[in-house]
Amino acid sequence: MAAAWDSSIAEELRMVEEEIRRSVDSEQRLLTEISMHVIGSGGKRVRPGVSVLSFRAVGGVEVSQVIGIAAAFELIHSATLIHDDINDGGEKRRGAVSAFRKYGVQRALVAGDFLFVKGFRAGGSFGPKVVEIIADACARMAESEMVQSDHVSDSSTSVDTYIEIIRGKTAKPIEASAKVGALLGGGSEEHIEALGLYGLNLGLAFQITDDVLDIVGNESVLGKPRGMDFRDGTPTLPLILAMNDGHDGRRISRLFGKKRKRPEEVGEALDLMADSWGLQAAREKAREFSSKAIDCLAPIPPSVYKNGLRSLARAVVEREM
Amino acid sequence: MAAAWDSSIAEELRMVEEEIRRSVDSEQRLLTEISMHVIGSGGKRVRPGVSVLSFRAVGGVEVSQVIGIAAAFELIHSATLIHDDINDGGEKRRGAVSAFRKYGVQRALVAGDFLFVKGFRAGGSFGPKVVEIIADACARMAESEMVQSDHVSDSSTSVDTYIEIIRGKTAKPIEASAKVGALLGGGSEEHIEALGLYGLNLGLAFQITDDVLDIVGNESVLGKPRGMDFRDGTPTLPLILAMNDGHDGRRISRLFGKKRKRPEEVGEALDLMADSWGLQAAREKAREFSSKAIDCLAPIPPSVYKNGLRSLARAVVEREM
């Protein structure tokens, strides 16, 4: 990710890290260890970053208020990563072996629950309105997981269904991070709404870029092998667009429809997708959502924090990991 | 479970059921279906019952206040049942096939997360203090799961470790149900504390009885096969006591220490445990905790609700399922 989006909130993000560490501290050292295995492995901290920048961008001053909530979003995000890896059989995550591979499904599942609880505890100190926003975003995540599971290896998945899935899976939680940050910062209705929409579009841009990188990313930079979405039967935008494009598309589609895909089949599909019009169109779509996110910032007064949000929207579509 | 403990709160419990159904309603019908597969299969509703009775016993009047929280405890409990079954490979639950067996691990895991979120959402409308009590109980549940996983098939597990495990796994959530009920009912510090201790002791009595029933319960009444704890290597009080008793104890201990147990080995151990002094001693211990729970009610003024709590404490140790 490009450098500077978070330079204006370095101190806040440091405090968020401390708060996260405090939250996952447990007498059961293994629970802390599994939690930190995931949290400490270098995530991009987009959710807490968006919370803090939104808080600051609407004029929030008393920074201690937003630290807890920013930590809550990262804790909940980490919980979902652990449970997702169990569900996908994801072997690697951020360059390290995934939690369930290292500690077993049972302990990883419990550690995920623990992180959920800690996230809700951190979020719960801000009253019912905040709890409602967080819980609704989490419920949407679960719902979109169910939609996704209905479309495993489904080569007829539509772009609309894809957008519905990633809206729930990635965009709603980032929208929630922005809204709650702005709410705690004392933002007006208009500003809260604007930052929420910023977060939603940022999330869509982010996820589409993720899906593009799963096809053409550099594995050593990504920290995991390419082609996992294809292998797992997860429909993504570049894939859906590529499948609908001519002769190669029909071949990709046939491979995608297979319940079990051999490594050489995944490799062949990746090569075809990398050269496809679909990949470029997906990149373009991510850039559109990124621009839309930036446009949503129009009502927000100028500040270094607004600049940070703008840089972040650019960075997510230009990143290599 | 004996009849009458909940007769004074039948209307409240009906409202709790409605609230639960409302909570798990989702556009994703399968998420609602999996949730109701577990919730609708006839649990004993001990946690919501304890919340409502505690609320009433301290003089709580505006019943709508406690319905949401009572639902929250049952939702969270159901989430842990789904995740526990995944972890134990539990095939049956309350006479029906378990959620992960019916719907697959992936969907069951997500449905568990969904129920957690809905529980926290329901609990989160009552402010930070309530969230803290609930979240702490949930964190303790996760912690005790980790302790338990350290003692799988460990024939040297001590009684103290066992009590530590079930305190976190079962007693803390019931303590929390009682405390939050009393808190929302406007109870004094003394009454909240007393009802919390009641819940803690009730939970210990409940879990020990569960563990006894796993050895000598009637399978058709239980709704699941006997001997699952033994097969899964879960140390229980009757087992620990039986293992420390003479020649038969050494045989049980040897069988328990095996990582994989053949069905006939489980059967042999069940027969030995059923005849053991340990089983009677565990029953006695459950009755002690039940009496202690009743003693804790001393500061609470007489009422039908206090009677209900007393009946519940008797019922949990006399039940057959």
Identify residues of B whose CB sits under 8 angstroms from chain A CBs.
Answer: 26-28, 30-31, 79-80, 83, 86-87, 105-107, 109-114, 116-118, 120-121, 123-128, 131-132, 135-136, 138-139, 141-143, 145-147, 149
Report how far residue B97's alpha carbon sits from residue B85's, in angstroms, rounded to the nearest whole number: 10
Confidence of residue A43 (pLDDT cuts 50, 70, 90): confident
Cα first-last separation, chain B = 7
| Structural domains of chain A, with CATH | 4-309 (1.10.600.10)
Per CB-CB distance under 8 Å, the chain A contacts of B147 are 28
Q: Residue B35 carries which side chain, given as an amino acid letter?
A: S
Report how far residue B243's alpha carbon sits from residue B249's, in angstroms, rounded to the nearest whole number: 4
Q: What phi and psi, each to the nearest 5 degrees, are found at residue B96?
A: -115, 160
- Indicate if the pLDDT at residue A1 is higher than 50: no
Counting every residue written for chain B, the total comes to 321
Assign A93 to helix, strand or coil.
strand
Q: What's the pLDDT score for residue B3?
A: 52
Report how far residue A213's alpha carbon sits from residue B294's, in angstroms, rounded to the nearest whole number: 62
Kindly report the number of other CB atoms within 10 A of residue A18's CB atom. Answer: 12
Report how far residue B52's alpha carbon sits from residue B182's, in angstroms, rounded to the nearest whole number: 8
Task: Please tell me the distance in Å from A142's CA to the nearest CA on chain B.
Answer: 6
Report how far residue A230's alpha carbon sits from residue B134's, in angstroms, rounded to the nearest whole number: 40
Please give the model's pTM, rounded to 2 decimal places: 0.93
Residue of A120, A130, A140, A147 for testing the chain B interface, max B β-carbons within 10 Å:
A120
Q: Average per-residue pLDDT in chain A?
A: 94
Per CB-CB distance under 8 Å, the chain A contacts of B118 are 135, 139
Report how far residue A53's alpha carbon sits from residue A9's, in angstroms, rounded to the nearest whole number: 7
Residues A212-224 have pLDDT tens digits of: 999 999 888 888 8
Provide DSSP, B227-268.
THHHHHT---HHHHHHHTSHHHHHHHHHHHH-SS--HHHHHH
Closest among B285, B279, B287, B280 to B313, alpha carbons compared: B287
Report how far residue A275's alpha carbon sits from residue A271's, in angstroms, rounded to the nearest whole number: 7
What tokens does A148 get?
């996704």
Asked if A28's CB is within 8 angstroms of B109's CB, the reply is no
Beta bridge partners of B97: B92
State the Cα angle at A278 between A274 and A281, rounded to 5°: 115
Per CB-CB distance under 8 Å, the chain B contacts of A117 are 116, 135, 138-139, 142
Q: Residue B216 carries which side chain, given as an amino acid letter?
A: V
B300: Cα separation from own chain's centroid = 24
- pLDDT string in tens for chain B (321-residue length): 445 899 999 999 999 999 999 999 999 999 999 999 999 887 889 999 999 999 999 999 999 989 999 999 999 999 999 999 998 887 777 778 889 999 999 999 999 999 999 999 999 988 889 999 999 999 999 999 999 999 999 999 999 999 999 999 999 999 999 999 999 999 999 999 999 999 999 999 999 999 999 999 988 888 888 999 999 999 999 999 999 988 999 999 999 999 899 999 999 999 999 999 999 999 999 999 999 999 999 999 999 999 999 999 999 999 887
Residue of A65, A131, A144 for testing the chain B interface, max B β-carbons within 10 Å:
A131
Per CB-CB distance under 8 Å, the chain A contacts of B139 are 26, 114, 117-118, 121
Q: Residue A153 carries which side chain, given as an amino acid letter?
A: S
Report how far residue B164's alpha carbon sits from residue B166's, in angstroms, rounded to the nearest whole number: 6
Q: What's the pLDDT score for residue A220?
A: 85
Helix (H) or strand (E) holding A97: strand A96-97
Identify residues of A whose CB sits under 8 angstroms from chain B CBs.
Answer: 26-28, 30-31, 79-80, 83, 86-87, 105-107, 109-114, 116-118, 120-121, 123-128, 131-132, 135-136, 138-139, 141-143, 145-147, 149
HSE-up of residue B24 (Cα within 13 Å, Cβ side): 31
Residues A60-79 have pLDDT tens digits of: 999 998 999 999 999 999 99
Per CB-CB distance under 8 Å, the chain A contacts of B126 are 128
Q: Residue A38 carries which side chain, given as an amino acid letter?
A: V
Report how far residue A185's alpha carbon sits from residue A17's, in angstroms, rounded to the nearest whole number: 20
Residues A103-117 have pLDDT tens digits of: 999 999 999 999 999
Per CB-CB distance under 8 Å, the chain A contacts of B141 are 113
Assign A141 to helix, strand or coil.
helix
Asked if A146's CB is within 8 angstroms of B135's CB, the reply is no
Instruction: Specify the DSSP class assigned to residue B302.
Output: P
Asked if A121's CB is within 8 angstroms of B132's CB, the reply is yes
Instruction: Report whether A99 contacts A37 (CB < 8 A).
Output: yes
